[in-house]
Chain A
Amino acid sequence: MPMHIGEKDFKKRVTKGLDDDFMRGAVRSAQERLQDKRATAADELGDWEDWRTLGSEIRGHTIEHLDYYLHQLSEKVAELGGHVFFAETGEEANEYIQKVAKEKDAKKIAKSKSMVTEEISMNEALEDIGCEVIETDLGEYILQLDEHDPPSHIVAPALHKNKEQIREVFHEKLDYLKSEKPEELALFAREKLREEFTEADLGITGCNFAVAESGSFALVTNEGNARMVSALPKTQITVMGMERIVPGWEELDVVVSLLTRAAVGQKLTSYITALTGPKQLEEADGPEEFHLVIVDNGRSKILGTEFQEALHCIRCAACINVCPVYRHVGGHAYGSIYPGPIGAVLSPLLSDYEEYQELPYASSLCGACTEVCPVKIPLHEQLIMHRRKIVEDEKKSPLSERVVMRGFEQLVNSANLYRTATKMAPFLTTPFAKNKLISKGPGPLKHWTHARDFPQPANERFRDWFNSREKRGEKNAKR
């Protein structure tokens, strides 16, 4: 799956999201649950702000010295007998992964959840050379079976589907006959995927955090599929976005503690698996051969710019879980595998404004995202910086908007013009209003009134009302 998902037109995607009642219900309840769990976990610590400060310092320091830490990481991995491939682009990464798969004559590939492999369309590249790629995270497995339905959330990818829909998918694709109870569905997936794990020739994992000082990788999971993928197949490939690294184990402790709390409100997830190189002598399970692929794919464009802090992200989705816009339009409306506030910041950076210029506007700038971010990325400020760039540097705002803005500028710069206009407003809007409400607005009002009524401007301007208080003999008017 490439980074871009769904319909090309932003407004069509949004309308589709707004009209999907089930999805909106599912997103609402998921957001509420995840918000509560995160808040409880943060409160329990008593000094959450200190944790955030430390998290932000660690991420800032690491990214400022990224070249050093990536160098150290690659040295350590190679010392242990692992191979490291640095990929400037997604294509380079895919070519290398294809090469390894061919060398190993891999037919079946078991994969645990990884956003960066989605971003570079790795599955498709492997399918092109005849490999079967099996997603083993329960949510990803469901989406893959359902004709590659795109993920709508970075932690809970199948958030937009209900259990009846999932039962239907299992029934259609795998002749599943039991009920839609989540326990039964999960048990069925367990049995099906067990076979796949034991047969897989190659395992592919993502990477939550690499640890530079020892050449290790931590995978943060609950289901145990990443453990399977790194224990059973004889060859393992780990794919990481180049920024997903910390200096040492002491820092790993902090970022993992922040991630599990911010993402799902757990003190730790069921499994934090830290892998260091291929298996060593006198070990029976684990990969005999290990490859690490470090992917840039647009990330270095962000370094040294005002958006550098976006690379501090630890992919917890806390910002997505509090976003009022995500709540209404859902993940698919963003048109990117990275939805929500962090998606609106990152997608235009990893791709370009041509593709994602609407996303920075898919925000009410309420700042809830910035407040929950465990590493203090100023998300809503970054969205404003995007808007400024889009309008001023790139001149990408629509012509009509530029004309209106110019008009507005002249209007508010002239006292006479402003007075006349505000006095005229109630008369001019009368043809559109019914009971003082406008339900079908003209021009720029159209999008607002599509969703809700707009109050007609009052007959008396605030200034006039204010000045006439004394005349009306209102109490306290002179105070």
Chain B
Amino acid sequence: MPKGNIINREAFLANIRAKIGGISSDKPVEKPAWTTEPQKKVLEGYDRDQLITVLREQCKEIHTDFYQTTLQDLSETITSVMKEYESETVVYSDDPRFENAKIEDYITSLNAFKWDRTDREGSIKIAEKADVGITFSDITLAESGTVVLLNDKGQGRSVSLLPANYIAIIPKSTIVKRMTQATDYIHAQVEKGEDIASCINFITGPSNSADIEMNLVVGVHGPIHAAYIVVDDL
């Protein structure tokens, strides 16, 4: 993509610089050593199974159904969640992990649509009508009960957003303590000069709002129900 325009920058920054006594914007600024880093101490020493327990407990706080299963029983679990949510039609991301987990055949046997990265209008239209969206989690945060989706290419933003129900498949190996580990990963990508996903979604349960008399309503613009399925041997 060609470089975008930058308009009015120099005068704007010169004004700021005059006020704060900065030197020059292109001289690199070193971040100071922070005096404390409490984010690194959260859930210190927890192993993965302990983190799964934390995740399961947190799911109760965020109105999310929690399942733990094996690779072998994964398709069965998905079937039962879909039944629970009275869902028939599926949209799922274009992600090799469905094939790797050997559930692509099962998914295609449903009334399912694989996100098409080349068809904007078509994909959005189908996702809008689908009963459930299914994606894998890229990084899973135990503390907050969050699935992190690195949305680019075949991982459409709409899959986890437009359907009324959402299922996240969580490979056990993706579970980390908290947001700190996810942002460390992304920061390392930036340091190495790699492209980061154009849309990184930290999703914590179904959508909700407390805008009416501070009463919590679960399900506003995004999904109304959400389920996490942790898969042991994945």
Contacts A278-B198, A282-B117; A74 near B22 (Cβ below 8 A) = no
Q: Is the CB of B209 within 8 A of A29?
A: no
Q: Is the CB of B17 within 8 A of A163?
A: no
Nearest chain B CB to A254 CB, angstrom units: 6
Instruction: Name A254's contact: one of B27, B39, B152 (CB within 8 Å).
Output: B39
Residues of B within 8 A of A77 (CB): 4
Q: Which of A61, A182, A247, A252: most chain B Cβ within 10 A?
A: A182
Does A65 sit at the interface, judged by CB under 8 A?
yes
Instruction: Name A282's contact: one of B7, B153, B196, B211 (CB within 8 Å).
Output: B153
With the chains together, A319 CA to B50 CA distance in Å? 36
Contacts A47-B38, A275-B199; A84 near B7 (Cβ below 8 A) = yes
Q: Is the CB of B7 within 8 A of A86?
A: yes
Q: Is the CB of B209 within 8 A of A222?
A: yes
Within 8 A of B (CB), among A172-203: 182-183, 185-187, 189-190, 193-194, 197-198
Q: Which of A80, A213, A271: most chain B Cβ within 10 A?
A: A271
Q: Is the CB of A71 within 8 A of B32?
A: no
Q: Which of B9, B11, B26, B221: most chain A Cβ within 10 A?
A: B221
Does A53 sit at the interface, judged by CB under 8 A?
yes
Q: Is the CB of A270 within 8 A of B36?
A: no
Q: Is the CB of B5 within 8 A of A78?
A: yes
With the chains together, A166 CA to B217 CA distance in Å? 15
Instruction: Name B203's contact: one of A26, A65, A254, A271 (CB within 8 Å).
Output: A271
Residues of B within 8 A of A74 (CB): 6, 9
Contacts A77-B4, A227-B161, A273-B202; A257 near B179 (Cβ below 8 A) = yes
Instruction: Name B190's contact: one of A58, A79, A214 (CB within 8 Å).
Output: A214
Instruction: Name A274's contact: one of B16, B26, B180, B200 (CB within 8 Å).
Output: B200
Within 8 A of A (CB), among B193-207: 195-207
Nearest chain B CB to A145 CB, angstrom units: 13
With the chains together, A213 CA to B222 CA distance in Å? 29
With the chains together, A166 CA to B161 CA distance in Å? 26
Contact with A along B108-146 (1 / 0, CB 8 A): 000000011111100110001000000000000101111
Q: Is the CB of A273 within 8 A of B201?
A: yes
Instruction: Name A83's contact: one of B4, B13, B204 (CB within 8 Å).
Output: B4
Q: Is the CB of A67 within 8 A of B157?
A: no
Stretch among A133-141, A346-354, A463-471 lining the B interface: A133-141
Q: Is the CB of B202 within 8 A of A68?
A: no
Q: Is the CB of A286 within 8 A of B199?
A: yes
Within 8 A of A (CB), among B164-217: 179-180, 182-184, 186-187, 190, 195-215, 217
With the chains together, A183 CA to B208 CA distance in Å? 10
Does A57 sit at the interface, judged by CB under 8 A?
yes
Q: Is the CB of A277 within 8 A of B198?
A: yes
Does B31 sit at the interface, judged by CB under 8 A?
yes
Nearest chain B CB to A48 CB, angstrom units: 8
In this complex, how many residues of chain B approach chain A with their Cβ under 8 Å: the count is 94
Q: Which of A50, A231, A232, A254: most chain B Cβ within 10 A?
A: A231
Q: Is the CB of B158 within 8 A of A86?
A: no
With the chains together, A272 CA to B144 CA distance in Å? 12
Q: Is the CB of B219 within 8 A of A88?
A: no
Within 8 A of B (CB), among A238-282: 242, 247-250, 252-254, 256-257, 264, 266-280, 282
Does A457 sit at the interface, judged by CB under 8 A?
no
With the chains together, A278 CA to B26 CA distance in Å? 25
Contact with B along A52-63 (1 / 0, CB 8 A): 011001100101
Q: Is the CB of B211 within 8 A of A227?
A: no
Nearest chain B CB to A309 CB, angstrom units: 13
Instruction: Name B210's contact: one of A79, A194, A264, A268 (CB within 8 Å).
Output: A264
Contacts A51-B38, A182-B212, A252-B183; A67 near B25 (Cβ below 8 A) = yes
Does B8 sit at the interface, judged by CB under 8 A?
yes
Within 8 A of A (CB), among B76-133: 115-120, 123-124, 128
Does A366 sit at the interface, judged by CB under 8 A?
no
Instruction: Name A186's contact: one of B3, B128, B180, B220 (CB within 8 Å).
Output: B220
Q: Is the CB of A227 within 8 A of B201?
A: yes
Contact with B along A21-47 (1 / 0, CB 8 A): 000001001100110000000000101
Closest CB pairs A-B (n = 4): A224-B222, A81-B1, A71-B25, A139-B211
Can you list 23 A-B pairs, Cβ within 8 angstroms, ordered by A? A30-B214, A33-B214, A45-B42, A54-B34, A54-B37, A67-B17, A68-B27, A78-B6, A83-B5, A156-B214, A162-B213, A182-B212, A198-B124, A198-B128, A214-B186, A216-B196, A224-B161, A225-B220, A247-B31, A271-B204, A273-B199, A274-B200, A279-B198
- Chain A positions within 8 Å of B, measured between CB atoms, are 26, 29-30, 33-34, 45, 47, 50-51, 53-54, 57-58, 61, 63-72, 74-75, 77-88, 92, 96, 136-139, 142, 156-159, 162-163, 166, 182-183, 185-187, 189-190, 193-194, 197-198, 213-214, 216, 222-225, 227-228, 230-232, 242, 247-250, 252-254, 256-257, 264, 266-280, 282-286, 290, 294, 296, 300, 303-304
